[in-house]
Amino acid sequence: MTSLKLGIIGCGTIGAAHAEAAAASDQIELVAVADVQRPLAEKMAAARSVETVYSSGAELLTDARVEAVALALPASFRIELGLQALRAGKHLLTEKPVARSAGEVRQLLSVQGDRVAACCSSRFHFLDSNRTVTDWIAQGNLGPLRVLRCRVIHPATPAPETHPPAWRLSRDLNGGGILVNWGCYDLDYLLGISGWQLRPQTVLAQSWRVPSIFADTVAPGSDGETHITGLVRCAGGTVLTYERGEYTAAHAEASWEVIGETGSLRLRMTPAPEKKILQFEATRAEGTVSRTLWSGSDSYSDIHRGLLEDFATAVRTGRPPQTTLAQALLVQQITDAMYRSAETGKAVEISAT
C-alpha cells in the first residue's frame, strides 16, 4: 500500500502528536504543515523533516500533493476548514469534538461525497484491550445489552501556575466543557464497542460549571461545564448512564461498564500499565462468576498511530474508518441533547434522522 500524503493544520500539542504518529508509520508521509502561528509550524516541520510550511490552512489545501488533511485545532476553526478540505477533494481526519453542533456535522456530510472522513473521537478503539472487548460483545457473550455505564471523576488539584487554554471550557470556541472534551471519547467508545447498534431516543441530563472556590483557576470567561451527568434511553430499553467531572470535591473514580442479560464487562477505556478487563457471567450452578478477559499494558502512543493508520487504510481500501462522520453525528446528537436537557430541565428526544 502506498503511503498517504498527509497535511496537518494546527501545530499545537495535538498536531505534534499527529506528526509523531505519522513519523512512526510507513503508511503515512507528512508532506506539509500549517499554522497561523508560523513559528509553531516551522518548529514542527524542522522536527519532522517536512519541507513545506504554510501560514494558513487555506493555503495548505491548495497543495496538490496533499491527499488528506488532519485538522488539529479548536472546533470553532475546524468546520470551515473541513468544508473547504472536502470541497477541494481532500480526505478528512478531524479532531474531536467533531463539531459544536449536529448541524455543523450535517454540513460536512452534505459535501463529503466519495471522500473518506473520520473523527478522532475513535482513538481509544485502537488499544488491544478494547479490540478484545469489541469482539467479545460482538460474539453475543453478554446477551441483550441492558446498561452501558461511564463514571469518571477527577478531584480538584492545587491551582495551576497558568490558566488552561481559553477554548477548553468555552461554548463558543469548543462547543462546551468536559462533555465535549472527554464525553465524545466516552460515548464513541461505548457506542463503538457495542457495534454502533444502539439507537438513542431520550436524554435527561444536568450539568454544573466550575465550583466557585476554583473559579479563578480557569480561563476568564469560561462558560463550559466541569461536571455533567445524564441518562440516555435507547430503542429496545437499553440505557446509557453517564457522569464526568473535574474540579470536583469527590473521590477519584474511572470506570466504564457494559451489562447484559447474561454477562457484563468492567472496563478501562484509557491506556494504563497492568490493566485488567474483568468479565462476569451468570451461571445456574455458581451464580455470577468472574474472570480476567484481558490483562496487560497499553500506551498513548498506540492510540495516535492506530488512528492515523486506520484512516490511511480506509482511504486506500475504501472501507469505512473506525468512526465515520455519520457515527460522529450520533455522538454529537447525544451531546446536543444532554446540553439542551441540562438547560431546560426536561427530557429531550433525539431524532432518528
Pairing of strands 117-119, 91-94: parallel
Same domain, 135 and 252: yes
Same domain, 292 and 309: no
Global pTM value = 0.95
- What CATH number is attached to the domain comprising 131? 3.30.360.10
Same domain, 269 and 133: yes
Same domain, 162 and 113: no
Same domain, 8 and 60: yes
Helix-, strand-, coil-residue percentages of the chain, each rounded to 5: 40, 30, 30
Same domain, 274 and 217: yes
Same domain, 226 and 344: yes
Selection from 58, 60, 42 nearest residue 50 by Cα: 42
Number of domains composing the chain: 2
List, as one string, the DSSP characters of 232-270: EEEGGG-EEEEEEEEEESS--EEEEEEEESSEEEEE--S
Same domain, 110 and 178: no
Selection from 146, 112, 181 nearest residue 320 by Cα: 112
| Number of C-beta neighbours around residue 220 at 10 A | 8
pLDDT in tens, the chain (353 residues): 799 999 999 999 999 999 999 999 999 999 999 999 999 999 999 999 999 999 999 999 999 999 999 999 999 999 999 999 999 999 999 999 999 999 999 999 999 999 999 999 999 999 999 999 999 999 999 999 999 999 999 999 887 777 788 888 888 888 899 999 999 999 999 999 999 999 999 999 999 999 999 988 898 888 899 999 999 999 999 999 999 999 999 999 999 999 999 999 999 999 999 999 999 999 999 999 999 999 999 988 889 999 999 999 999 999 999 999 999 999 999 999 999 999 999 999 998 76
Supply φ then ψ for residue 298, to 5 degrees: -140, 165
Same domain, 286 and 157: yes
Domain that holds residue 185: 127-298+332-349
The backbone region for 345, taken as left when phi is positive above 0, alpha when psi lies in -120 to 50, beta otherwise, is left
- What CATH number is attached to the domain comprising 318? 3.40.50.720
